[in-house]
Chains A and B, each alone.
Chain A
Amino acid sequence: MSEDAEKGAVPTPAFAPWDDPQAKPLIRFQGVTKKFGEFVAIDDLSLDIYEREFFALLGPSGCGKTTLMRMLAGFENPSMGGITLAGRDIVPVPPNKRPVNMMFQSYALFPHLSVADNIAFGLKRSDMAKSEIAGRVDEMLGLVQLRKFAARKPHQISGGQRQRVALARALAKAPKLLLLDEPLGALDRKLREETQFELMDIQEKLGTTFVIVTHDQEEAMTVASRVAVMDNGRLVQVDTPERIYEFPVSRYVADFIGDVNLIEGRIETLTKDCATVVWAETMPPITAGLPQGIGAGEACVFAIRPEKVTISAERPPDAVNALPGKVLDIGYLGNMSTYHVELANGQVIKSQMTNQRRLARRAFSWEDQVWVSFTATGGLILMA
């Protein structure tokens, strides 16, 4: 099966302006480089973000996410390259004149102002009539469900409520673009998950373009219409969450997003629609779909997600790839279990299986001899 056929297997969302060559991006980075002294924080980066998108910047700490965000807000200017917003060059526009608002990682709520005054702050600086401001503030308080707390000061409300005030304040002026820098970083896990869905709801309701920075891949995958994976000031891959997960373009992306088995080897043969990878003398080669940009004989890495690997007691008769091993470890997660299977050459393969049966009747146990198997389309061959 070719990769194009595989693409069809992933349901394409109705909203996909990035696939439409006619669509005009809201934001366009063109060859943007940002240097701090000699240090290159953003390296020749080009990126289009479309209206109504919920766009996530994902990457490890220090890869330049905040810097990219601050260039959109106007607090930093690119050393080279251009940034346009709705076709207009925004590099010379100061932050207070941009139709862009930012929700700060620290929330940056004004401690001497009440919740309502914090939300009204931007409106009072705009040309909105005084009489309309109160109504708009009330609307925003309703949106984030904080009407009861309007008169409180920021230090009199909880962390989750502060986060919502920051969001309401940033949204009050109805910006064309909302920037959120690790907006949920300070919340505990449960609140964080709830808030992710709230954010998505609000974004859908308002239709504002959101750019969110996060180092949490699950968060990016949950909320975003598209995810940009960054590494050292460069974009490694920009794609929908599904495609980032199923078709990572590099070992870095595969490893960064979710759990993955990586097997290093060398391409043995390339045919019309599949390739084989040799990876250990004592092991049969792995058959997988055609790789891109790797020739026969070249080094490569085979990547496969644990949930694409099946475990069975007998060799499945029709399996394209099947390798014998023994169960090393079982991680019980409730709804599923992760098995670590050690192959004969010492390579450990992780497999994830849903627990359809109760614990007592589970099929495998420690030290059991098993077969791990996967289809030819289950994994990907990537550059080493």
Chain B
Amino acid sequence: MFNFRRFFLISVPYIWLLLLFLVPFGIVLKISLSDSALAIPPYSPTFDLSAGWAGFREMWAAFDFENFLWLVDDSLYIKAYLSSVWIALVSMILTLLVGYPIAYGMAKAPEEWRPTLMMLIILPFWTSFLIRVYAWIGILGSQGYLNQFLLWIGVIDEPLVLLNTSLAVYIGIVYTYLPFMVLPIYATLEKLDGDLLEAAEDLGCSRISAFWLITVPLSRPGVIAGCFLVFIPVVGEFVIPSLLGGSRTLMIGKVLWDEFFANRDWPLASAVAVILLLILIIPIVLFQRQQQRAQEAGQ
């Protein structure tokens, strides 16, 4: 007998995927194959249901890859993609360097402190992301708190130019994405059996070599998860480079925004988005595979 209940339960995630990912993606893909036009919406052809099958055939015939070819022709786009991937890689490494010690400290803290420390890590999420990034403008600006402080203690004579540099972008990204790095690493470190470190010491390791030989390899799943969780969204990041990075920071998210809202070239912007997604599919698939493997090994 056809088991309706089971079918329903299994279909829920697929319906979710269909509605929230495949349908929007299909729309974006369609727009990316269209031509821009001075109209509302600003592209043609549009799909006219009343024209029926003939209308669909007509629309299909008007599709072309012009926008994608344009992305290759103008080196700006390739540069923006490469620069985004590069910025995402560097920020990922910086976030790891800052996040690992924090996660390690949390895992080593007395058990009764850990919930508090965990809350401190999550606390920034309670205020708007936009406000927090704006706050960094106040800190990094030439009249900002950081410069005032450095002038006051006499380390510098003139204010440093921090805002609208790539340094500001990195600071903003590391600050914003730190919890995504800290939490998965903390989860693996907290599970780590203390006996393993004592066993390593018993077998002749110093504390430091026990850290490198036992703690680091065993926290690898958390490190990998954290790296993906930072890398994937940062590639498409838009707000931080726009607010902190100024005009010289080239990121594909900003290009996308400009094409959509400044140039109102929806088809080209959609092509940019489709390519961005294709670039990210590789790390996303790798990430899923790694998560699955980690889960299997944990059992």
Contact between B201 and A108 (Cβ–Cβ < 8 Å)? no
Contact between B202 and A96 (Cβ–Cβ < 8 Å)? yes
Contact between B204 and A108 (Cβ–Cβ < 8 Å)? no
Q: Which of A111, A125, A155 contacts B203 (CB 8 A)?
A: A125
Cβ-based interface call for B206 (8 A): yes
Cβ-based interface call for B214 (8 A): yes
Contact between A108 and B217 (Cβ–Cβ < 8 Å)? no
Identify which of B193, B196, B206, B209 gathers the most chain A CB atoms within 10 Å of its CB. B196
Contact between B204 and A155 (Cβ–Cβ < 8 Å)? no
Cβ-based interface call for B39 (8 A): no
Contact between A106 and B205 (Cβ–Cβ < 8 Å)? no
Contact between B204 and A96 (Cβ–Cβ < 8 Å)? yes
Cβ-based interface call for A326 (8 A): no
Contact between A106 and B193 (Cβ–Cβ < 8 Å)? yes
Q: List CB contacts (< 8 Å) of B205-234 with chain A.
A: 205-206, 209, 213-214, 217-218
Contact between A125 and B205 (Cβ–Cβ < 8 Å)? yes
| Closest B residue by C-beta to A169 | B203
Known: A96-B204, A110-B214. Contact between A104 and B209, CB under 8 A? no
Q: How far is the CB of A284 from chain B (nearest CB, A)?
A: 57
Q: How far is the CB of B297 from chain A (nearest CB, A)?
A: 7
| Closest A residue by C-beta to B297 | A155
| Closest B residue by C-beta to A153 | B297
Q: Which of B204, B206, B214, B217 contacts A122 (CB 8 A)?
A: B204
Known: A104-B195, A106-B193, A155-B297. Contact between A112 and B202, CB under 8 A? no
Known: A111-B218, A155-B297. Contact between A126 and B198, CB under 8 A? no
Contact between A108 and B196 (Cβ–Cβ < 8 Å)? yes
Contact between B195 and A106 (Cβ–Cβ < 8 Å)? yes
Q: How far is the CB of B170 from chain A (nearest CB, A)?
A: 32
Contact between A95 and B202 (Cβ–Cβ < 8 Å)? yes
Known: A96-B206, A125-B205. Contact between A110 and B196, CB under 8 A? yes
Contact between B196 and A95 (Cβ–Cβ < 8 Å)? no
Cβ-based interface call for A209 (8 A): no
| Closest B residue by C-beta to A101 | B202
Cβ-based interface call for A102 (8 A): yes
State the CA gap A121–B204 with chains docked (Å). 9
Contact between B193 and A108 (Cβ–Cβ < 8 Å)? yes
Contact between A122 and B203 (Cβ–Cβ < 8 Å)? yes
Identify which of B196, B204, B205, B214 gathers the most chain A CB atoms within 10 Å of its CB. B204
State the CA gap A40–B108 with chains docked (Å). 26
Count of residues in B whose CB is under 8 Å from the partner chain: 18
Interface 1/0s, chain B 283-299, versus A by CB < 8 A? 00000000000000100
| Closest A residue by C-beta to B194 | A108
State the CA gap A101–B193 with chains docked (Å). 18
Chain A contacts of B196 at CB under 8 A? 108, 110
Identify which of A73, A110, A126, A155 gathers the most chain B CB atoms within 10 Å of its CB. A110
Q: Which of B195, B203, B217, B297 contacts A101 (CB 8 A)?
A: B203
Contact between A121 and B203 (Cβ–Cβ < 8 Å)? yes
Cβ-based interface call for B71 (8 A): no
Cβ-based interface call for A34 (8 A): no
State the CA gap A240–B38 with chains docked (Å). 100
Identify which of B193, B195, B209 gathers the most chain A CB atoms within 10 Å of its CB. B195
Q: How far is the CB of A311 from chain B (nearest CB, A)?
A: 50
Contact between A95 and B198 (Cβ–Cβ < 8 Å)? yes
Q: How far is the CB of A384 from chain B (nearest CB, A)?
A: 42
Q: Which of B199, B205, B297 contacts A104 (CB 8 A)?
A: B199
State the CA gap A242–B221 with chains docked (Å). 53
Chain B contacts of A155 at CB under 8 A? 297
Chain B contacts of A101 at CB under 8 A? 202-203
Known: A106-B195, A108-B196, A112-B218. Contact between A125 and B204, CB under 8 A? yes
Q: Which of A108, A112, A125 contacts B198 (CB 8 A)?
A: A108
Interface 1/0s, chain B 185-201, versus A by CB < 8 A? 00000000101101111
State the CA gap A110–B199 with chains docked (Å). 9
Q: How far is the CB of B243 from chain A (nearest CB, A)?
A: 42
Cβ-based interface call for A305 (8 A): no
State the CA gap A122–B203 with chains docked (Å). 5
Cβ-based interface call for A162 (8 A): no
Contact between B195 and A173 (Cβ–Cβ < 8 Å)? no
Cβ-based interface call for A75 (8 A): yes
Q: Which of B195, B206, B218, B297 contacts A108 (CB 8 A)?
A: B195
Identify which of A96, A111, A112, A170 gathers the most chain B CB atoms within 10 Å of its CB. A96
| Closest A residue by C-beta to B210 | A96
| Closest B residue by C-beta to A179 | B202
Q: List CB contacts (< 8 Å) of A163-214 with chain B.
A: 169-170, 173
Q: How far is the CB of B295 from chain A (nearest CB, A)?
A: 13
Identify which of B203, B205, B214, B217 gathers the most chain A CB atoms within 10 Å of its CB. B203
Chain A contacts of B209 at CB under 8 A? 125
Chain B contacts of A104 at CB under 8 A? 195, 198-199
Interface 1/0s, chain A 80-116, versus B by CB < 8 A? 0000000000000011100011101010101110000
Chain B contacts of A102 at CB under 8 A? 198-199, 202
Contact between A96 and B201 (Cβ–Cβ < 8 Å)? yes
Name 5 interchain pairs, CB-CB below 8 A, sorted by A.
Answer: A73-B198, A96-B204, A112-B218, A125-B203, A125-B205
Please list the 5 inter-chain residue pairs (A to B) with the smallest Cβ-Cβ separation, ordered nearest first.
Answer: A125-B204, A122-B203, A108-B199, A108-B195, A95-B201
Name B's A-contacting residues (CB within 8 A): 193, 195-196, 198-206, 209, 213-214, 217-218, 297
Excluding A125-B203, A125-B204, 8 further A-B contacts by CB distance (< 8 Å) are: A73-B202, A96-B203, A100-B202, A104-B195, A108-B198, A110-B196, A110-B199, A112-B217
